[in-house]
Amino acid sequence: MSDEAEVAPEGIECVVTYLEMRASPKLPRLQPPRGKKLALMRAEPPTVSFYRYLYDAVGRDWRWTLRKRLSDATLRTIIEDPAVELYVLHVGGVPAGFSELDRRLTPEIELAYFGLAPQFIGHGLGAYFLNWTVRCAWQHAPSRLWVHTCTLDHPRALGLYQRVGFVVYDREAAIADADPDPAPPRD
């Protein structure tokens, strides 16, 4: 199955891989990449417009569309929930990526979204930020931390998740949205 094969006007064929951690990994604390002015901040809570900006900046190249299809009201309900944590990595004062931890199904935590904007990929920031995010999640002592990725995501995403301690527990074929830029419904 090709990860870029168009199968129908309705969608694109892909494979979704589900990964999990059942115990806190023994990760060495990574140092931030040298020569970069970094800041990690929790957006408490983010505005819908800022969230949409981050989601598009990080996910556009990887065909992230699910949250684009949500109305502002529905998206606001998710991102303003106290059990949803949004962390933003800034490089030189510029938002470079984000991670979203969803604790609404306690005692599990889903790493719902994680990624960097394209211009920040390839500078050692992904490993640093994912390591930091995993440590942050395990401070809540979940029974399980899980994430999913697909063959339309960055080609190194799966390997990066595995390097920080996630293990594959399932795979499935799926059809991704063919429209990379759907408009959200009106409230």
CATH number at residue 85: 3.40.630.30
Residue 141 lies in a domain: yes
Residue 1 lies in a domain: no
Which of helix, strand or coil describes residue 30? coil
Which is more confident, 14 or 168? 168
Residue 187 lies in a domain: no
Residue 60 lies in a domain: yes
Q: What is the mean pLDDT of residues 11-39?
A: 88
pTM for the predicted model, two decimal places: 0.88
Residue 182 lies in a domain: no
What local confidence, expressed as pLDDT, does residue 56 receive? Answer: 95
Residue in the structure block whose two tokens are 């999913």: 148
What local confidence, expressed as pLDDT, does residue 8 receive? Answer: 42
What are 96's two structure tokens?
A: 């470079």
What local confidence, expressed as pLDDT, does residue 5 receive? Answer: 44
Sequence-distant (6+) residues with CB within 8 A of 59 are: 65, 113, 115
Residue 4 lies in a domain: no
Residue 42 lies in a domain: yes
Domain count, the chain: 1
What are 11's two structure tokens?
A: 């969608």
In angstroms, the first-to-last Cα distance of the chain is: 38
Q: What is the mean pLDDT of residues 33-45?
A: 90
Buried b (16+ CB within 10 A) or exposed e, 136-172: bbbeeebeebbbbbbbbbbeebbebbeebbbeeeeee
Cis peptide before 82 (omega within 30 of 0): no
Residue 58 lies in a domain: yes
Helix ranges, 63-164 (H) = 72-79, 125-138, 157-163
> Domain range for residue 79?
13-25+37-175
138-181 pLDDT, tens digit per residue, is: 999 999 999 999 988 899 999 999 999 999 999 999 887 766 66
Q: 30 pLDDT band (50/70/90 cuts)? A: confident
CA atoms of 62 and 39, how far apart (whole Å): 25
- Examine the pLDDT at 23 and tell me if it is beyond 80: yes
77-87 pLDDT, tens digit per residue, is: 999 999 999 99
